[in-house]
Amino acid sequence: MARLWAASIGMLLLLGCAHQSAFRVDEVSEGQSVAVRMTSGDRVEGTVARVETDAVVVTDEAGKNWRARRDAIDSITGPKPVRDSRGRIISEKEIASRRGSKNKWTFAISGGLLSMGSAFFVSSMATRVGDENNRDAIVIGGTAGGTVLGAFLFSRIGARKDRQNAIDVLRAERGSGTRDEILEEREKTESLQQQIEELKKQIQ
């Protein structure tokens, strides 16, 4: 049971940073969502407004522009930029405006129900080697924890699907995707299905 929890926690950490990438100053583009950390320790998050010869200008959520000199930038991180068929960046703000939560909640409920039975079984098995006086606490705690964990893991998968659906809608509005983009989206869908199956196996 300890191994199951350890593996689950590791997966949570992986999912939590899965969409973050590191970029060099010359790799960022206008419209890209970034978090810039300065050598002074200051940090600003927002959208790249301009890329200048000696600086990057970032607009934060309040609409204020911050000019970060290249020689004072320690690191730049953020989600991998999403582009349309013409190579233009689709901002995270646009994606968020079109992103629903249908898949997130569907996956969360389904994953929670699936995990409940598995967690109950694992917890019941664990009581055989534990203190008889703590059996109820182990079963209840283990089942509740496994159910919540399963619901969370599956909700993250559903949320990623909701995000991809929003991207597909925005790309369609901006024009039909190229053949390579269509194939890429198909590969992403297949990869998502494989991840779901792997999660099911680990929870069971």
Strand partners, 73: 38
pLDDT of residue 4: 46
Q: Are residues 139 and 57 in the same domain?
A: no
Domain residue limits at 155: 2-19+91-203
- Considering the domain architecture, whether residues 14 and 106 belong to the same structural domain is answered as yes
Per residue in 106-133, pLDDT tens?
Answer: 989 988 888 887 877 777 776 666 555 6
Confidence of residue 186 (pLDDT cuts 50, 70, 90): low
Same domain, 104 and 194: yes
Looking at residue 2, what is its pLDDT?
44
The whole-number average pLDDT for the span 93-106 is: 90
* Judgement on whether residues 44 and 116 belong to the same structural domain of the protein: no
For residue 85, being part of any structural domain is answered with: no
Does 151 share its domain with 71?
Answer: no
How far is CA 115 from each of CA 60, 111, 147, 150, rounded to the nearest angstrom? Answer: 40, 6, 5, 5
142 and 130 fall within a common domain: yes
d(CA 42, CA 35): 11
For the domain that residue 59 is a member of, what is the CATH number? Answer: 2.30.30.100
33 plus 69 within the same structural domain: yes
Please report the pLDDT score of residue 13 as a whole number: 47
Total of domains in the chain: 2
On whether residue 84 sits in a domain, the answer given is no
Does this model's pTM top 0.85?
no
Q: How far apart are CA 121 and CA 106, in angstroms?
A: 24
Same-domain status, 42 and 14: no
Mean pLDDT of the chain: 80
